[in-house]
Chain A
């Protein structure tokens, strides 16, 4: 089959690789019909996440049709059209039973690596480095899905692939980020990063009752999308002083909740940004927490800082004093996608939230290398690329 394969920093190629096989009773094989390139894939592309190996298949946002089932999977049939949550979760351990699916105890065969780094392991993730299990990803024609009895979710025929694809990651991720803000009537929620997760966090925050939503970015097309589709007020951090504008917009209080939809590769301006860039390049600091520092300073007293953006190691100069003095609540973590599938699918089916507006580029699987480059350089107004294995190369829209 064809698959998008990581060959090194800034080097992904479409290779021919062996088809996946059923290895365990609870496995399924899916023929992929649509697969997204996620902002977090760019951390792999840019070589920020350690333990990637040449030959690794990328992709953790994918859906398709069941073509093969292990003997232990009885609640699905061949031909079922399904979405697949990006965390691989067993459904049996204490964490899965608590609904903390992305903290699954059993699904990461390389758990010792994360234990060394963090003290304990999280769930395995499709196509996301050997730290997260070394599983082959879904930017491919076929993919093996472990624990398929809990790792697949049927979608109704009347909804298109593009309407439901983002249930696999970014919609639940934006939604969980908003849910973590414990939004109350009258709340203002500020979202750093108007990429796909940020945009869907804004939509979710509104759905959960936020009175005002503010989007912060530097790309005009993203700010425009936040304004047009998410009814957000926007701040371009390259043109305005974020802290000051937020201060003015909230009567001097600061936003009630702040969402970091940027993560480890934040950009900024001035000395602080240069400091983090140098330290990350020299591997003296593994993450660049420029946005996070801003969030903490801007958030109102007693407010919540919600972090769906990915961090993987150590950060410098965390304003812990501000966290303490202002009594902030910090919430973070990978998304427990499984728990949001039913409720969010309902919202899509009812037409309450449409997530397909973020797609700016539709490409054939073969065009993935160009897609990664485009997305990384934020060229051509690129916000979200979806890859279709059935699309002929060059026919992209």
Chain B
């Protein structure tokens, strides 16, 4: 089946991915940065060389952060205070797997395989031709469940799904499989967008969203790669007693 541009692509919405500092914080950064830089210059004028330079550097960093909304330190620490974009929270991750697109697709298409590499999932059960029941590990062992529907299925190329009905954590996702150049296997791109619920009933689901981060999905994809390439997941544990759940 030919993949056309009409297929909705998750992730096209949020363009400025470099913003990871929230609004209030950006304004504070601008003001504080300017103040620091000026104090630094004053210190320099007063021949206090090192503190003056340090303040100017730090001030410059805050000014840049306030102006652009991007903080290198935050990125290095994996912190993002810019909050959810209007269209929910988007997570995009990539991995290259040394198998053909068809092989990777087939493993993924059998949705019941997903919990073998996605740590936050307890089980996925196929309930109909295009529907499935997803069960995630919630906080304090309380499971969070939702039904999902596959809305596009292009063998060897793309799978698109979204939650249906009264989902505790409304979400949608795509996984794309592209042949990498020169026998390098398959480039897998996963995009997941979820809509954090408000209010008390959504509390468990909201907590769950802390478990679904870019870093975690990236680890999931590494496990998928390990399973498909080596037939097992890597562990440095010494004995079964220490094995993680």
Contact A144 B238 (CB under 8 A): yes
Contact A112 B218 (CB under 8 A): yes
Query: Within 8 Å of chain A (Cβ to Cβ): is B112?
Result: no
Contact A136 B236 (CB under 8 A): yes
Q: Shortest Cβ distance from B47 into chain A, in angstroms? A: 24
Contact B98 A97 (CB under 8 A): yes
Contact B238 A21 (CB under 8 A): yes
Contact B232 A26 (CB under 8 A): yes
With A106-B225, A106-B229 already in contact, the answer to whether A146 and B238 are too (CB < 8 A) is: no
Contact B238 A90 (CB under 8 A): no
Which among B184, B215, B234 has the greatest number of chain A C-beta atoms within 10 A? B234
With A94-B185, A116-B76 already in contact, the answer to whether A108 and B240 are too (CB < 8 A) is: no
Query: Within 8 Å of chain B (Cβ to Cβ): is A72?
Result: yes
Assembled-state Cα–Cα distance A97/B222 (Å): 18
Contact B184 A94 (CB under 8 A): yes
Assembled-state Cα–Cα distance A134/B234 (Å): 11
Q: Shortest Cβ distance from B90 into chain A, in angstroms? A: 20
With A93-B98, A106-B226 already in contact, the answer to whether A21 and B231 are too (CB < 8 A) is: no
Contact A112 B219 (CB under 8 A): yes
Query: Within 8 Å of chain A (Cβ to Cβ): is B166?
Result: no
Assembled-state Cα–Cα distance A155/B241 (Å): 33
- 27 A-B pairs within 8 Å (CB atoms) are namely A17-B238, A18-B238, A21-B240, A23-B237, A23-B243, A24-B232, A24-B235, A25-B231, A26-B230, A26-B231, A72-B231, A72-B232, A90-B229, A90-B230, A90-B234, A92-B229, A93-B225, A93-B230, A97-B98, A105-B98, A105-B225, A106-B225, A106-B230, A110-B236, A111-B222, A112-B215, A133-B236
Residues of A close to B231: CB separation below 8 A: 25-26, 72
Residues of B close to A25: CB separation below 8 A: 231-232
Residues of A close to B219: CB separation below 8 A: 112
Assembled-state Cα–Cα distance A93/B238 (Å): 24
Query: Within 8 Å of chain B (Cβ to Cβ): is A192?
Result: no
With A72-B231, A94-B96, A94-B98 already in contact, the answer to whether A109 and B236 are too (CB < 8 A) is: yes
Flag A183-227 by CB within 8 Å of B: 1 or 0 each.
Answer: 000000000000000000000000000000000000000000000
Flag A90-117 by CB within 8 Å of B: 1 or 0 each.
Answer: 1111100100000001111111100010
Contact B234 A109 (CB under 8 A): yes
Residues of A close to B235: CB separation below 8 A: 23-24, 109, 146
Q: Shortest Cβ distance from A362 into chain B, in angstroms? A: 28
Flag A63-78 by CB within 8 Å of B: 1 or 0 each.
Answer: 0000000001000000
Assembled-state Cα–Cα distance A134/B242 (Å): 13
Query: Within 8 Å of chain A (Cβ to Cβ): is B24?
Result: no
Q: Shortest Cβ distance from A124 into chain B, in angstroms? A: 7
In chain B between 125 and 170, which residues have their CB closer than 8 angstroms to a CB of chain A?
A: none
Flag A118-150 by CB within 8 Å of B: 1 or 0 each.
Answer: 000000100000000111100000001011000
Query: Within 8 Å of chain A (Cβ to Cβ): is B239?
Result: yes
In chain B between 65 and 84, which residues have their CB closer than 8 angstroms to a CB of chain A?
A: 76
Query: Within 8 Å of chain B (Cβ to Cβ): is A20?
Result: yes
Cβ-defined partner of A93 (8 Å) among B218, B229, B239, B241: B229
Residues of B close to A97: CB separation below 8 A: 98
Residue of A nearest to B76 (CB): A116
Q: Shortest Cβ distance from A3 into chain B, in angstroms? A: 10
Residue of B nearest to A3 (CB): B238
Residues of A close to B184: CB separation below 8 A: 94
Flag A1-21 by CB within 8 Å of B: 1 or 0 each.
Answer: 000000000000000011111
Residues of A close to B76: CB separation below 8 A: 116
Assembled-state Cα–Cα distance A124/B222 (Å): 14
Chain A to chain B: the 3 pairs with minimum beta-carbon distance, closest first = A92-B229, A134-B236, A24-B232
Residue of B nearest to A133 (CB): B236
Contact B236 A135 (CB under 8 A): yes
With A105-B225, A106-B229, A112-B215 already in contact, the answer to whether A124 and B234 are too (CB < 8 A) is: yes
Q: Shortest Cβ distance from B77 into chain A, in angstroms? A: 10
In chain B between 209 and 226, which residues have their CB closer than 8 angstroms to a CB of chain A?
A: 215, 218-219, 222, 225-226
Assembled-state Cα–Cα distance A282/B225 (Å): 40
Contact B234 A18 (CB under 8 A): no
Contact B229 A108 (CB under 8 A): no
Residue of A nearest to B239 (CB): A21
Which among B96, B98, B236, B241 has the greatest number of chain A C-beta atoms within 10 A? B236
Residues of B close to A144: CB separation below 8 A: 238
Assembled-state Cα–Cα distance A144/B222 (Å): 22
Assembled-state Cα–Cα distance A153/B222 (Å): 28
Residues of A close to B240: CB separation below 8 A: 21, 23
Residue of A nearest to B229 (CB): A92
Assembled-state Cα–Cα distance A360/B128 (Å): 70
Residues of B close to A124: CB separation below 8 A: 234, 236
Assembled-state Cα–Cα distance A142/B241 (Å): 17
Residues of B close to A134: CB separation below 8 A: 236
Residue of A nearest to B241 (CB): A18
Cβ-defined partner of A106 (8 Å) among B218, B234, B243: B234
Assembled-state Cα–Cα distance A18/B230 (Å): 27
In chain B between 50 and 103, which residues have their CB closer than 8 angstroms to a CB of chain A?
A: 76, 96, 98
Flag A290-313 by CB within 8 Å of B: 1 or 0 each.
Answer: 000000000000000000000000
Residues of A close to B226: CB separation below 8 A: 90, 106
Cβ-defined partner of A108 (8 Å) among B232, B234, B237, B243: B234
Q: Shortest Cβ distance from B178 into chain A, in angstroms? A: 15
Residue of A nearest to B99 (CB): A92
